[in-house]
Structure 1
Amino acid sequence: SSHSTTTTMGIRKKTTKNPPVLSHEFVIQNHADIVSCVAMVFLLGLMFEVSPVHMLNGVLVLGVGGDDTAVNHFHHGIKDLATVFFYMLVAIIMHAIIQEYVLDKINRKKHFSKTKHSKFNESGQLSAFYLFSFGWGTSILLSENFLSNPVTLWEGYPHTLMPFQMKFYFICQLGYWLHALPELYFQKTKKEDIPRQLVYIALYLVHIAGAYILNLNRLGLVLLVLHYFIELLFHVSRLIYFSNENRQTGFTIWAVLFVLGRLLTLSLSVLTVGFGLATAENQGFDWSAGNFNVLFVRITVLAAICLTQAFMMWKFINFQLRRWREHAQAQTLKKKQVPSKSKSKKDKANGVNGVSHGADSPRARKEKSS
């Protein structure tokens, strides 16, 4: 009977904690279900072919791949905004699934502190996304032979026509980084963390959207795959570090690859935009044809990439300096503690000897005075 009362009391307690409908707490707790309902409205539209998912196919262009084979290619358009919004909803749902069924279960077992808890969740979510995006992006690069023939990065610009996989990749990338904005609210992100997260979300959105709109999708894809691989290594290293703080080899490998990644990004950007497009025949600005190969656009693109790489290197150097400083402080503290410990041991030993011999004992002092 006592067990039943405790369970009923538990149930009653739980029901009283239910937040009022449409309150902030209610929306945060049930945001995945609410978003799923909105996504279902879009999917119902498939039955009537008015869904934004169909808008991905609304800009279809047929290209002949051989004698009797046809290859479907796509170009970007205003309808993509609705498709990006739909996949933003999908990203929110996937985020909630990973959080509830994977990360929360690990958190309960490990009993992390509040700071470690939020960092673990961030690294867990980003590791899943970077792994998926890196794998998918690499498969597109291999199938389109961009790596084996780097000249294709600028040859034949503007690259207005894209294979389905490439267009879908950019749509999903934009959807994911847009979903990160409402997630700041859903995940109750600390006020001091919001500016940092807003900066890197904005950088991702500007660079991905810029590459997509300016028809620099091939260069954008190569740089994204490179960047995602390095970021994946960092977040996996951080997850390993949280499970065992002695394992820090991953950070060292990441530090080397981070610097090499910045140099490779700058080299590819200068090679493609600075030399490749600058020497191309079709110079000029033509919005309808998707040609943005003018000096102003080229300088703007290179300036944006160079400034971002410089900003990342500055953040990286500060991060490394802080780590070295913390490591040096820890070492000095250890050195200070070692002699003090040994000294205290000696004192204890002397004290024990004194008591045993009775040299400084109260009884001996009394005897001396008498």
Structure 2
Amino acid sequence: MPRWRNTSWWKDRDSLSWRFAFYLFSFFGGLSVLYHESWLWRPAMCWDNYPNQTLKPALYYWYLLELSFYISLLITLPFDVRRKDFKEQVVHHLVTITLITFSYSTNLLRIGSLVLLLHDSADYLLEACKMFNYAHQWRVCNSLFIVFSLVFFYTRLVLFPTQILYTTYYESIANSAPFFGYYLFNSLLVMLQLLHVFWSCLILRMICNFTKKGQMEKDIRSDMEESDSSEGEEAQEHPKLKNGAAQGPGVASTDGPRNRAAWQLANGHMLAT
């Protein structure tokens, strides 16, 4: 099927640049807003003088920007290319929107901003990885995927439970009794952590394909309908056939675990975090 007739092909590529731009701007913009705040480096200080904490204008506008972005993701999700983790993405966006709204209304903006910054730290790397894949820059794509995986594992599986969940569960009630918002807020954070584990398992499965099999399968999140519509595209985008024969003269071999990473991104289907 010609690429100009492949709706899924265009849907993925049209959304990459603006998502990359937003995640990049949001992460470094949020970092500039929070860099001089003491509670960025010591999450326990998020509870100092709570709830009588002053809301700075920069943090207010950054919060509104993040809220509007995730609302737009939720609205447009049914019109994007459908993945096997569609339900998980819906849950993720709903939980995120609820967390942003609830933390703003209860003045939990300090800890809420740390959650947002932590999540934005890996997302722009993922979008950049997919863009380089579509540009057929396999080495850059593979390198970015490795960096993305390391950042994702560290922020989601190390920093989030040991810094964010710890301070919200224990340090937040060190000087006060638990209240309704305490249980709701922590329940939503636990739901996020479960999604982190789910997507981490998918990434680990991809890494196993890189290192053990020496070849990449199609995206493990792609459903049958999408896979059928993009079979011809996979053969065009990657220079290797299933039997390993090159598609034309001058095409470099892609044998080996690292260079096979392009197979996993052949359709640009990656994890939504």
TM, length-normalised to structure 2? 0.65
* Partner-residue secondary structure (3-state), 1:327: coil
Alignment match, 1:10 = none
CA contact (8 A) 1:233 1:250 kept: yes
In 1, the alpha carbon distance for the partners of 2:179 and 2:14 equals: 45
In 2, the alpha carbon distance for the partners of 1:322 and 1:151 equals: 40
In 1, the alpha carbon distance for the partners of 2:118 and 2:190 equals: 19
In 2, the alpha carbon distance for the partners of 1:257 and 1:285 equals: 34
In structure 2, relative to structure 1, the CA distance for the partners of 1:123 and 1:159 (3 Å cut) is: farther
In the TM superposition, residue 123 of structure 1 has moved relative to its aligned partner by: 2.0
Question: Residue by residue, what CA displacement relative to the aligned partner does 1:311-331 show, whole Å, maximum 9, x if unpaired?
Answer: 332343344456666816779
* Partner-residue secondary structure (3-state), 1:123: helix
In structure 2, relative to structure 1, the CA distance for the partners of 1:321 and 1:215 (3 Å cut) is: farther
* Partner-residue secondary structure (3-state), 2:149: helix
Alignment match, 2:48 = 155
In 2, the alpha carbon distance for the partners of 1:192 and 1:251 equals: 20
Alignment match, 2:80 = 189
Alignment equivalent of 2:172, drawn from 277, 283, 292? 277
Larger gyration radius, structure 1 or structure 2: 1
Question: Residue by residue, what CA displacement relative to the aligned partner does 1:150-173 show, whole Å, maximum 9, x if unpaired?
Answer: 432222222554112212221221
In the TM superposition, residue 147 of structure 1 has moved relative to its aligned partner by: 2.6
CA contact (8 A) 2:12 2:81 kept: no
* Partner-residue secondary structure (3-state), 2:128: helix
Question: Residue by residue, what CA displacement relative to the aligned partner does 1:80-109 show, whole Å, maximum 9, x if unpaired?
Answer: xxxxxxxxxxxxxxxxxxxxxxxxxxxxxx
Alignment match, 2:144 = 250
In 2, the alpha carbon distance for the partners of 1:299 and 1:195 equals: 21
Unaligned ranges ≥5, structure 1: 1-109, 287-291, 339-370
Taking only the aligned residue pairs, the percentage that are identical comes to 19
Alignment: residue pair count: 217
In the TM superposition, residue 249 of structure 1 has moved relative to its aligned partner by: 0.7
In structure 2, relative to structure 1, the CA distance for the partners of 1:258 and 1:156 (3 Å cut) is: same
More strand by share: 1
In structure 2, relative to structure 1, the CA distance for the partners of 1:277 and 1:199 (3 Å cut) is: closer
Question: Residue by residue, what CA displacement relative to the aligned partner does 1:271-307 show, whole Å, maximum 9, x if unpaired?
Answer: 311221132x232538xxxxx45xx446525533432
Unaligned ranges ≥5, structure 2: 218-239, 247-273
User: Which residues of 2 match residues 286-325 of structure 1 at below 5 A?
Assistant: 292-293=181-182, 296-297=183-184, 300-321=187-208
Q: Structure with the greater relative contact order (CA < 8 A, sep ≥ 6): 1 or 2?
A: 2
In the TM superposition, residue 138 of structure 1 has moved relative to its aligned partner by: 0.8
TM, length-normalised to structure 1? 0.50
In 2, the alpha carbon distance for the partners of 1:213 and 1:304 equals: 20
User: Which residues of 2 match residues 6-45 of structure 1 at below 5 A?
Assistant: none
In 1, the alpha carbon distance for the partners of 2:102 and 2:125 equals: 26
In structure 2, relative to structure 1, the CA distance for the partners of 1:332 and 1:306 (3 Å cut) is: same
